[in-house]
A and B are shown apart, each in its own frame.
Chain A
Amino acid sequence: MRGGIVAFLLALTGGLLWGVGAVLAGDTTPATPSGAQPTVTPASVPADQSAEQLTNVPLPFVYTKWRHFTVEDGLPNDHIFAVKVDGPRVWIGTENGLACYDKRTGKMRVWKEEDGLPWRVVTAIDIDRKTGDVWLGLFGGGLARFSGGRFDHYHQLNSGLVNDVVYGVAVENDHVWAATTAGASRLNLKTGQWTIFTEKNAPMEEIWNYAVHYRDGKVHLAVWGSGVLEFDVATERWQVYLDPDREMEIDLYRDDGIIHVITTGANYVDGILWVSSYFGLSRYDGRRWRGFYAHETGMPSDFTNSLRARSGQECYFAHDKGLGVIAHFDSDTYASYTRDQKTLRGKAAVFRSGKKLIELDLEKTIPHNFCICVDVDEKDIWVGTSKGLGWGIGDGYYPGVRENPVWLAEYNQSRQKQDLTAASTPTTTGQ
């Protein structure tokens, strides 16, 4: 009897320890073959939403094919802080190293501190299109140029970099800009001269720069507590965009300016300025502002780590609860990509004017809901998350919205196939 009790207790304890161990191990996801061809395999669509009924409704492109990359696929670390596409190469900045994925060969190369990378945490990447040099923002390590297999290191003690905590980097013509925690720095690549921008010579109410982006003659700095600063390269003049109500705890009017001064990203494409913050999103066309909140659009969250615009109509947002997309501004159409917490399958949804049009249950979407960075790669997109990198494959991508899109037909076919399979499976219940 006593032995039986002991055995029972041991089994119980063992089970408990196993369970705790599994949780501590941190991953109960079934292993995914890294080289597997992505497929669309929907499981089911909730009964109140019918994919078939949407055939004549204009819909945006939805990424239904995804690949995931983690340390098992060669990444140096799963915590992805930056992703930048450079033709066939995809540069990936992680919490512990730099990686480059070659789409042609499927090979991943990695650089860590022991390989010459000046500091382990890579938070920003940009490419000098003239030279092919890769510029890296290092979180606490300054700035690095990777060229010809060599890392050149710029930091507070050997250059005009204003601070070593670099959040953003952007190449502008013959300059490299760095957004740091204590101002912005600009390096002239021809003269080697550095310029520092702080509250002393730029309209920064605060100096906590978070992101920098260059396009079409304008540099945009997203600054925590100071909204967005626009630097016109030709005139060297600044324009500042602040939240007009100037209150932290409210957004008085949604469309009167940027919705909050604590901004995290700014992209300028097709004459449109897109802005992300921890409180929501904004878009400015030069005359009118428009604010976007999750509760009105269907996007996963207001807390937005960064953004990447594909056009003046389409922009991708890395939220803490998934990937959000303003898929087509003119038709008020949005999309979201999340990972189901229970099934770990992917979910994609399309919304218009606050109404959900469709929700797709997919084998995969983003690798983790905590999205940190995103880049657009012609028809594809790349999403860096807290646990892996996602590649959204844009076969059949189209801008705007379209009736009877191919992805919807494929999804419906796949679903019908699955229904047939389910119907042909003999049931043993209900006797």
Chain B
Amino acid sequence: MEAIYSLTFLVGVLFQSDWIGSGTPDPLRPWLPPFQLSEGMKRVLEEINSVNAYQVPNLPKKREPVYAYTPLDVTPFRHVEPHKRHFLEQMEYWGPGRAIPEPQDLKTVKIGFIGPLVPTVSVAVGGRSHNEERMGIKMLQGAKLAIEEANERGGYVRRGIPFELIVRNDNGLWGSTGNEVIDLAYKEQVWAILGSIDGANTHIAIRVGLKIELPMMSSGDLDPTYIETNIPWVFRCISDDRQQAYLLVDYMYRKLDLKRVAILRSSNRYGRFGVREVVDGSRRLGRPIVVEMAYPVGCQDFSIQLERIEQAKADAVVHWGNAEDGARALNQMRARGMTQPFFACDRCLAPEFVEIAGPNAEGVICASPWNPDRNDPIFLAFKERFRARFNEEPETYAAHAYDGMNMLLWAIQVAGLNRAKIRDVLAYRPEPFVGVTGEIPLSAVNDDAGEVYLAKFVGGKWHYYSRQELGLPPREILVRPPAEQTVQVGPARAVQE
């Protein structure tokens, strides 16, 4: 009788507990069990667990007045009210997936990883690789560390079985990423996928994810259109090129008052879509880009592009492409006597850029989706663990992959093994996810709506600046009409010279 009494009590506790897992919480890894569900998260969970195959959870949808904090004066066709604005209301999933029972015969909980790991060929760049393996390997390291740490804490705590990372290479050849996602979904039966970096391949992957109803988390594809597809299964835990471009445009024109900016970009989807908001923002602020020059990935000789930029009398150059290409272009610029400021995308924050550029790196300004200079104990502890595990420093792609994988692991611990519920708890989580890259607040379209930064290379080090530290108005103010932009800008931190 005592045993039955205890069992009943335990079952009761299981159903009433706010905690996932047991033991002592780790304040430096709050995503790991044991963690407590917030009141808001408990309500989400109750609602999604209460519906049958024909019902949709009755949960409040996120609604945003402006898409992606687009400043009013760089809004497309801002003098005309468009017939329809998209992406302002949270997407919903109306399928029956929440009613699929959790399988009982699993030995591991599989999670897919897809990223560029080995040099491959790509249709999009005329048969040559995108040279993204460096980022893909870092991304894999971050994902692996997250899985290993979760398994050290008991794996999937409801069953006490480990998580298993199923790794696939991302290859642009004949759209093979689509085949890999099919394989992960139907043969490996993964519960979610983390990936990838290449915009075109990631688009292929999410189209498959939508059809087969599988959560997809991107930690490395910064293509703004990735999230602009209205797919309720797609998430991103890194701020995109749109946000980076808005900050860069603000800084170049509102702060530095530049007049004639040129663009030098890679001739692939990353370069083409990455600069799109720079081009549009410059034009809308009355400073159209004077020339936009594309180069093939891996380009060694930039003379044609630089000659045109010189002819255009540009007073600054924005580069969007890989670190090695950017550094070579910068060196050739300086060798030609071109002294214009050099701005770049976050890929040029890689050590390779500084190694190749040498002293020319001094003064370069890059956009960054995060601030790795923070004295955040969660991040500092992660750096230590990452170094101990890989004997390397974590950079943007490793840190964001670690966060993205932890978001998926957290969602599985909370929701259980049901793809639709994993999607739900990520989408409806009331609080921002707190990761090693900072807070990750998801927008109505499940995109990372967090702040972005500019980094300036001075004295052999990147120095990171927030919008406020740069003396720029907050994003929330710039979306308002000019008459309402009355906020005082906080004290700026002097940008290193």
Q: Mark A1-44, 1 if CB is under 8 A from B, else 0.
A: 00100100110110011001001111111000000000000000
Q: For window 79-128 of chain B, which residues contact chain A by CB distance below 8 Å?
A: 80, 82-87, 91-97, 99-102, 123
A310: interface (CB < 8 Å): no
Interface pick from B162-170, B171-179, B324-332, B383-391: B171-179
* Interface presence of B261 (CB below 8 A): no
Distance between Cα atoms of A224 and B205 in the complex (Å): 13
Q: A164 at the A/B interface (Cβ < 8 Å)?
A: yes
Q: Is A140 an interface residue (CB 8 A)?
A: yes
Q: Nearest chain A CB to B481's CB is how many angstroms away? A: 18
A127 to B: closest C-beta gap in Å = 23
Smallest distance from the beta carbon of B351 to chain A beta carbons, Å?
33
Asked if A278 and B229 sit within 8 Å, CB to CB, the answer is yes
Known contacts A9-B12, A156-B174, A181-B207; A27 and B52 CB within 8 A of each other? yes
Say yes or no: B178 contacts A181, CB within 8 Å. Answer: yes
Q: Is A117 in contact with chain B by the CB < 8 A criterion? A: no
Establish whether residues A162 and B175, one from each chain, have CB atoms under 8 Å apart when the complex forms: yes
Q: Which of A229-237, A243-251, A352-360 contacts B (4 or more CB under 8 A)?
A: A243-251
**B175:A163 contact, CB within 8 angstroms:** yes
Choose from B51, B68, B178 the contact partner of A182 (Cβ within 8 Å): B178
Contact B175 A181 (CB under 8 A): yes
Closest Cβ of chain B to A179, distance in Å, is 11
Select one of B101, B204, B211 contacting A139, CB under 8 A. Answer: B211
- A9 to chain B: which residues have CB within 8 Å? 5, 8-9, 12
Contacts of B468 in A (CB 8 A): none
Is B11 part of the binding interface, using a Cβ–Cβ cutoff of 8 Å?
A: yes
Q: Give Cα A9 to B179, complex, Å.
A: 51
B1 and A6: CB pair below 8 A? yes
Residue of A10, A23, A254, A260 with most chain B CB atoms under a 10 A cut-off: A23
Q: Interface readout for A79-108 with B: 1 if CB under 8 Å, 0 if not? A: 001000000000000010000000000000
CA distance A240 to B23 in the complex (A): 61
- Considering the chains assembled together, what is the distance between the CA atoms of A280 and B429 in angstroms? 28
The verdict on A341 contacting chain B, using a C-beta distance below 8 Å, is yes
Complex Cα–Cα for A95 and B208 (A): 13
Closest-by-CB residue of B relative to A123 is: B211
B55 within 8 A of A: yes
- CB-CB under 8 A from B229, the residues of chain A are 224, 262, 278
Question: Does A377 count as interface, using CB distance less than 8 angstroms?
Answer: no
How long is the Cα–Cα vector from A320 to B52 in the complex, in angstroms? 16
Q: Is the CB of A23 within 8 A of B49?
A: yes
- Minimum CB–CB distance from A23 to chain B (whole Å) comes to 6
B56 within 8 A of A: yes
- B93, closest chain A residue (CB): A320
- On chain A, the residues within 8 Å of B97 by CB distance are 386
Whether a CB of chain A sits under 8 angstroms from the CB of B230 is yes
Interface assignment of B203: CB less than 8 Å from any CB of chain A: yes
Interface of A, helix, strand, loop or mixed by DSSP: loop
Chain B contacts for A139, CB-based, 8 A:
182, 208, 211-212
Are B178 and A140 neighbours in the complex by a CB distance under 8 Å?
Answer: yes
Number of chain B residues close to chain A: CB under 8 A: 61
A370 at the interface (CB under 8 A from B): yes
> Which residue in chain B gives the minimum CB-CB distance to A320?
B94
Distance, CA A10 to CA B4, complexed state (A)? 9
Report the minimal beta-carbon distance from B104 to chain A, rounded to whole angstroms.
11
- A242 sits at the interface (CB 8 A): no
* Interface contact A252-B77, CB-CB below 8 Å: yes
Let me know if B312 is at the binding interface, CB within 8 A. no
User: Given contacts A26-B96, A27-B99, A163-B174, are A249 and B204 in contact (CB under 8 A)?
Assistant: no
Chain B positions within 8 Å of A386 at CB level: 95-97
Q: Which residues of A contact B52 (CB under 8 A)?
A: 23, 26-28
Q: How far is the CA of A13 from the CA of B50 in the complex (A)?
A: 16
| Given A25-B101, A251-B86, A341-B55, also A370-B95 (CB < 8 A) | yes
Q: Is B82 within 8 A of A251, CB to CB? A: yes
Counting CB contacts under 8 A, is A67 at the interface? no
Nearest Cβ in chain A — how far from B310, in angstroms? 30
Q: Answer whether residue A387 sits at the interface, using C-beta atoms and an 8 A cutoff.
A: yes
Asked whether A13 lies within 8 Å of B178 as measured between CB atoms, the reply is no
Known interface pairs A251-B86, A262-B229; A121-B99 also in contact (CB < 8 Å): no
Closest CB in chain B relative to A303 CB, distance in Å: 6
B53 within 8 A of A: yes
Q: Which of B94, B102, B186 contacts A370 (CB 8 A)?
A: B94
Name the residue on A nearest B229 (C-beta): A262
* Interface flag for A339 (CB, 8 Å): yes
**For residue B102, which residues in chain A have a CB less than 8 angstroms away from its CB?**
24
**What A residues does B392 contact at CB under 8 A?**
none
Contact B175 A207 (CB under 8 A): yes
Q: A20–B348 Cα gap in the complex (Å)?
A: 51
CA distance A344 to B53 in the complex (A): 11
A198: chain B residues at CB < 8 Å are 123
Interface flag for A206 (CB, 8 Å): yes
List the A residue with the shortest CB-CB distance to B82: A250
Q: For B204, give its contact among A23, A162, A182, A280 (CB under 8 Å).
A: A182
Q: How far apart sit A180 and B229, CA to CA, in the bound complex (Å)?
A: 18
Per-residue CB contact flags for chain B residues 206-225 toward chain A (1 = under 8 Å, else 0) read: 01100110000000000011
User: Complex Cα distance A10/B9, Å?
Assistant: 9
The answer to whether A224 touches B95 (Cβ under 8 A) is: no
- State whether B5 touches A6 (Cβ < 8 A): yes
Residues on the A chain within 8 Å of B123, using CB: 182, 198, 207
Contact present for A249 and B87 (CB under 8 Å): yes
Which B residues lie within 8 Å of A279 (CB)? Answer: 84, 86, 230
Residues of B within 8 A of A162 (CB): 174-175
CB nearest to A295 among chain B residues: B84
Considering only residues 187-208 of chain A, those with a C-beta below 8 Å from chain B are 198, 206-208
Chain B residues within an 8 Å CB radius of A206? 200, 203
Query: Whole-angstrom distance between the alpha carbons of A24 and B417 in the complex?
Result: 11
CA distance A121 to B186 in the complex (A): 9
**In the docked arrangement, what's the CA distance between A3 and B70, Å?**
65
In this assembly, does B431 line the interface, its C-beta being within 8 Å of a C-beta of chain A?
Answer: no
The minimal Cβ–Cβ distance linking A231 to chain B, given in whole angstroms, is 20
B83, B84, B101: the one within 8 Å of A24 (CB): B101
A320–B50 Cα distance when bound, in Å, is 20
Distance, CA A225 to CA B123, complexed state (A): 17
**Nearest chain B CB to A37's CB is how many angstroms away?**
24
**A218 interface hit (Cβ, 8 Å):** no
A9 to B5, CA, bound (A): 8
A23: which B residues are within 8 A, CB to CB? 49-52, 99
Q: How distant is the Cα of A162 from the Cα of B101 in the complex, in angstroms?
A: 37
CA gap between A44 and B92 in the complex, in Å = 29
Residue of A whose beta carbon sits closest to that of B83: A254
Q: Does any Cβ of B come within 8 Å of A269's Cβ?
A: no
A280 vs B93: C-alpha distance when bound (angstroms): 17
Whether the pair B94, A369 counts as a contact (CB closer than 8 A) is: yes
Residue of chain B at shortest CB distance from A17: B11
- The minimal Cβ–Cβ distance linking A370 to chain B, given in whole angstroms, is 4
Cα-based distance from A22 to B496 in the complex (angstroms): 63
19 A-B residue pairings within 8 Å (CB atoms): A13-B12, A13-B15, A24-B101, A25-B99, A26-B99, A139-B182, A181-B175, A207-B123, A225-B225, A247-B77, A249-B70, A249-B85, A250-B86, A262-B230, A320-B94, A339-B54, A341-B55, A368-B53, A387-B95
Chain A residues within CB distance 8 Å of chain B: 3, 6, 9-10, 12-13, 16-17, 20, 23-29, 81, 95, 120-121, 123, 139-140, 156, 162-165, 167, 180-183, 198, 206-208, 210, 224-225, 245, 247-254, 259-260, 262, 278-280, 291, 293, 303, 320-321, 339, 341-342, 344, 368-370, 386-387
The 5 closest A-B pairs by CB, nearest first: A182-B175, A140-B182, A26-B99, A165-B178, A24-B101
Known contacts A13-B8, A249-B76; 20 additional CB pairs below 8 A are A6-B4, A6-B5, A6-B8, A20-B49, A26-B52, A120-B186, A121-B212, A139-B212, A182-B178, A208-B207, A245-B82, A249-B85, A252-B77, A252-B80, A291-B83, A320-B92, A320-B95, A342-B55, A368-B54, A387-B53
